A and B are shown apart, each in its own frame.
Chain A
Amino acid sequence: MVESRHGVELRGVSRIYSRGGETVKVFDDVDLKIDAGAFCALMGPSGSGKSTLLNLVGGLDRPDTGDLTVGGVALGGLSEAALASWRAESIGFIFQGFNLIPVLTAIENIELPLLLTNLSKAERREHALHALELVGMADRAKHRPGQLSGGQEQRVAIARAVATDPGVILADEPTGDLDFESARQVLDLLGRLHSELGKTILMVTHDPRAAQRAERIIHLDKGRIEEPEQGSKGLSGEG
């Protein structure tokens, strides 16, 4: 197994939103540490802050207070441009709605994040094909998202997420829109990314069966981290 150096640490993190003139505290003084190479499931009711946590770790959102470190990089000190570069290098996103670019083929979607690297055109194509092979979709390289099933789309999205070989994979309900069999395939893939490639994986899910695939389950409720599940490993939640 490849050792990932991309651990995640939150210290005293708070996130407050204003909605219709009302202030909503999504996170309140949260501490959390996720070891590098861990596979964590984030569970909790709607509005508990799961997606917000994912967005914060992925550098898509910024905390109002507290420190957030991913792979040793303090995100609070990065400018928007630096944060975008860091994302391109360090984070792979998998969304519930797949979010593939509909006008590009599967392989072109995977090549998108590779455009931000120094790879040549041929190398980008090679990497993208390799990522497609990894998710068993090489024969669908020229298909557009509209020509793929939901499960196939999500596998392409996973290939896109790992194409640049990021240390951290953030998956926001990756099986939410999939049937049982497709969900199983996606979870198998995530399991392989963790076990074979040593990726640090944070997966938001409502599905307890999906959560069971993780080695650690973190419960969120009203912006606070609750007691972890017994028997899960790599846990040091302190929220």
Chain B
Amino acid sequence: MVPLKLIWRNLIRHKLRAVLTTGSLVVAFFLLCVLRALVVSLDTGVKEASSSRLVVQSAVSLFVDLPVSYQNKIESVDGVEEIMKMSWFGGYFQEPSNMFAQFGVDPDRISTVYPEIEILSGSMEAFMASRSACIIGIETAEKYGWGVGERVPIMGTIYPRSDGTAWNFDVAGIYDSHNASVDDSTLFFHWEYLNQSLESGASTGPPGVGVYTVLISDDADQLRVGGEIDALFENGPQRVQSSPEAEFNAQFVSMVGNVPFFVGAIGTGVLVAILLATLNTMLMAGREQTRDVGVLKALGFGSGATFWMMLSQSFLLCGVGAGGGIMLAIGASDSLRGFLGTTFPGFAVNAEIIQSALTLALVVALFAGLAPAIRARSLRVVEALREEI
């Protein structure tokens, strides 16, 4: 077998080229990991959605609010265990770029509907006790340095205050979610606080409820319960559409546009670019080492040894490049989560992404190394030694 020392030194024979190729592989695999993590984070909410929750929205559009009176009627449907109002607030903190999800909800029902929410500091009781109280996901709280007892000013865009000032929410709890269907970046506040503001004229915006989140009992059939809810309002005044949470989340993701497709297309482009760059490097390396291959064969090394010598260089090159890129992506994961977390909740370079990246590295290594390896294997000694490099 050809010594590893020879394989490694051949790889760094041209240091600048080795550094540039490895650098491009590091950047490419970093990008692939991050892009994949973006797509996965969009899918996570769909994959981890609860099968015992339904989302009831207007049949016209998600942006059309439902009457408050629907809550009692939906609650009466057989199989409905709990129902909670949810209204998208669409506010931001200080700057429009500091946008994250805020929902007006029924505070006394949230822990039943979303049992995955765990209060890390503060309490659910404190949240329920005060009209202006809110609970905030750990990611957003850490990002802005908010703690229990602080007052958080949020500018309303859908529900601006009439005097042009910010809404003030008092942090009653910081939560962590055990499931990606509820992300760790949302602020939940009292829907009633919003409603009273609208009624008193302190703020403006569409009245009603954005969606109802319905928890159904374990033995209830999702389709039947959904069908019965929809049937309740078939003749108006506002028709509704009930969807399982997964379907609703998928619909929400599709509203972001073709982000998964777009990100996937960029990833494919990056992959093709590194394939070609690595192939180019390996073809040059193969050509440069023609005489070495001839010498090795003359000394008695078999065709298999020279085949593996070339292929190993490709694996080593891709291993170092991909390893660097993956390490970089893991290292930057926390910072990126802080930066993207509210837009891509649950963003993380997880084991599955690392495994995919390593598989891709193997494919690239094989693709780039196979041609020079086959050439090295089939080269006749006499021809190889005669070759002008």
Contact = CB atoms under 8 A, between A and B. Distances in A.
Interface of A: 55, 58, 60-61, 80-81, 84-89, 93, 95, 99-104, 108, 112-113, 115-116, 160
Interface string B68-81: 00000000000000
Contacts, number: 67
A151 to B, nearest CB: 19
Contacts of B292: 101-102
Contacts of A87: 298-300
A113 B300 contact: yes
A104 B10 CA distance: 9
A112 B296 CA distance: 8
B295 A84 contact: no
A103 B291 CA distance: 13
Contact of A84 (B5, B300, B385): B300
A68 B70 CA distance: 99
Contact of B301 (A61, A84, A100, A102): A84
B17 interface: no
A113 B296 CA distance: 8
25 contacts: A60-B298, A60-B381, A80-B302, A80-B303, A84-B301, A85-B300, A87-B299, A88-B299, A88-B300, A93-B299, A99-B291, A99-B295, A100-B295, A101-B6, A101-B292, A102-B13, A102-B292, A103-B6, A103-B9, A104-B5, A104-B9, A112-B6, A115-B1, A116-B299, A116-B300
Contacts of B6: 101, 103-104, 108, 112
B383 to A, nearest CB: 10
Interface of B: 1, 3, 5-6, 9-10, 13, 291-292, 294-303, 380-382, 385
A202 B13 CA distance: 34
A169 B300 CA distance: 14
B317 to A, nearest CB: 15
B260 to A, nearest CB: 45
Which residue, A61, A87, A95, A103, has most C-beta atoms of chain B within 10 A?
A103
Given A85-B302, A87-B298, A112-B299, 5 more contacts: A55-B381, A84-B300, A88-B301, A93-B298, A99-B385
Contacts of B294: 99
A168 B111 CA distance: 87
A47 to B, nearest CB: 14
B5 A113 contact: no
Contacts of B291: 99
Nearest to B303: A80
Contacts of B385: 95, 99
Which residue, A80, A86, A112, has most C-beta atoms of chain B within 10 A?
A112
B237 to A, nearest CB: 82
A95 B381 CA distance: 13
B300 A60 contact: no
Contacts of A93: 298-299
Which residue, A80, A81, A86, A113, has most C-beta atoms of chain B within 10 A?
A113
Given A60-B381, A95-B385, A103 B10 contact: yes
Nearest to B299: A113
B382 to A, nearest CB: 5
Nearest to A113: B299
Which residue, B291, B297, B381, has most C-beta atoms of chain A within 10 A?
B381
A98 to B, nearest CB: 10
